[in-house]
Chains A and B, each alone.
Chain A
């Protein structure tokens, strides 16, 4: 096997492993920042790992009328997120498998995960599950076109929809002001907040029935299933952060020709994640949760910003 492919495989594998192992840590960091900012004493940084470990040690309880779908969904969810983590250029851009799945496929992968979790939520037939599923689908169908538009804006600049190519092109360009990317960046941030059940749309820490979206869907899960779902949502947040870095802060990724760059791509990714987590916590602290009926407005705004980015790129060429 030629060494270049070996490099690529190693980068891809390392990216996926780093994502899976660091995702709960990132979530813990965000939670810690949120606690600090709201003057509470913070949970330990490793709390998400402890939760997952605790859940893995418990016995799973299933509803009597749960179908096989209900059992497999956590695995599908986790699998989808790991696959996504593998094709996002988080450490290096030499990803041999990324040619089979560009950014559009990535959005599709997220959509698949969403459909399955919504189906599982409706499977038991409780009121909360189906309510959460409906709300999730409402948020999802509005966030998805916005995310696609963000990706298209970047693709228009780079002439490709493959994320590694986009990250490579954007990192290699000369420094210039791109208003279109700024628009896309804000839109992406809004989509990130909405898709990861973050505060303006959903509160990840809430257990108040009327406002839950994500939490309502996973109420029926317990033990190892719940652990996988929690892990998968941490991974989703991590993945979104990495997509954001690839599109808007693509510097410091390892290239195909120098695998040694991976050595400093990893600490750089850590730094970016620390900054992003603090920023995310800050946004969540200063903004209030929107009423659920305002969510379409929020997401329409994201869509509009993304389309504006596209139009500005087309008109001004910048």
Chain B
């Protein structure tokens, strides 16, 4: 029991490392107050995803995964660029906004991770790949992004939560099952891109109407 890691091939070790970094970045996003840093963390998460996809592609010799990595790198470059522009245009740089205070959020996040790991344990037994145990981490990333969407008040950080969730899904697909069919992947990516742009337009409309991006303003149906 003491040392099983050394027998695992290097590629699997690298994927495990990427998994751990993704989990770490999810927590960092959960704890981050500033929107600009939040976007940067999101970009870093995307970059980790690209890295792990490349490792999977190289180690399994599946060439379509290189394409998948290239497609994913759109999320590292284009989406953060769009989000940064949005933040600048809406001048939201210094926003601090959480519903629950941050230490509590992180403790809830820990609970979520334990839940996800417990959930994934029996599932990953079914897979046959070396890196199947990363499924738990991918699930944890998805659930943590959910948690971020719940605990944030501003629309833009909820959207980042949504995009991060998609990162988690992609990671689950590449590391646990060595990639989805390309059509599915492209479809999801297109959805996400279109979604991000539509959200961007929404932000402007929300702000025009309510002079703020706080979604709690949307809850009352008519103005008092």
A211 to chain B, nearest CB (A): 21
Q: Which one of B6, B20, B137 has the greatest number of beta carbons of chain A within 10 Å?
A: B20
Interface pick from A42-50, A225-233, A297-305: A297-305
B85 to chain A, nearest CB (A): 29
Q: Do the beta carbons of B106 and A178 come within 8 Å of each other?
A: no
Count CB-based A-B contacts (< 8 Å): 82
In the complex formed, the residue of B with least CB distance to A178 is B5
Q: Do the beta carbons of A304 and B110 come within 8 Å of each other?
A: yes
Q: Which one of A179, A305, A311, A315 has the greatest number of beta carbons of chain B within 10 Å?
A: A315
Chain B contacts for A318, CB-based, 8 A: 5, 8, 13, 16
Q: Do the beta carbons of A317 and B4 come within 8 Å of each other?
A: yes
- Answer whether residue B17 sits at the interface, using C-beta atoms and an 8 A cutoff: yes
Q: Do the beta carbons of A312 and B102 come within 8 Å of each other?
A: no
Q: Do the beta carbons of A312 and B20 come within 8 Å of each other?
A: yes
Q: Do the beta carbons of B23 and A307 come within 8 Å of each other?
A: no
Q: Do the beta carbons of B136 and A315 come within 8 Å of each other?
A: yes
B121 to chain A, nearest CB (A): 8
Number of interface residues of A (CB under 8 A): 28
- Answer whether residue A268 sits at the interface, using C-beta atoms and an 8 A cutoff: no
Q: Do the beta carbons of A177 and B14 come within 8 Å of each other?
A: yes
Range for the number of chain B residues in contact with chain A:
20 to 34
In the complex formed, the residue of B with least CB distance to A142 is B103
A236 to chain B, nearest CB (A): 25
Q: Do the beta carbons of B20 and A176 come within 8 Å of each other?
A: no
A158 to B1, CA, bound (A): 9
Q: Do the beta carbons of B114 and A311 come within 8 Å of each other?
A: yes
- Answer whether residue B146 sits at the interface, using C-beta atoms and an 8 A cutoff: no
- 7 more A-B residue pairs beyond the given contacts A300-B106, A304-B27, with a C-beta to C-beta distance below 8 A: A169-B3, A179-B17, A179-B19, A179-B21, A311-B117, A316-B16, A317-B4
Q: Which residues of A contact B (CB under 8 A)?
A: 157-159, 169, 173-174, 176-180, 182-183, 296-297, 300-301, 304-305, 307-308, 311-312, 314-318
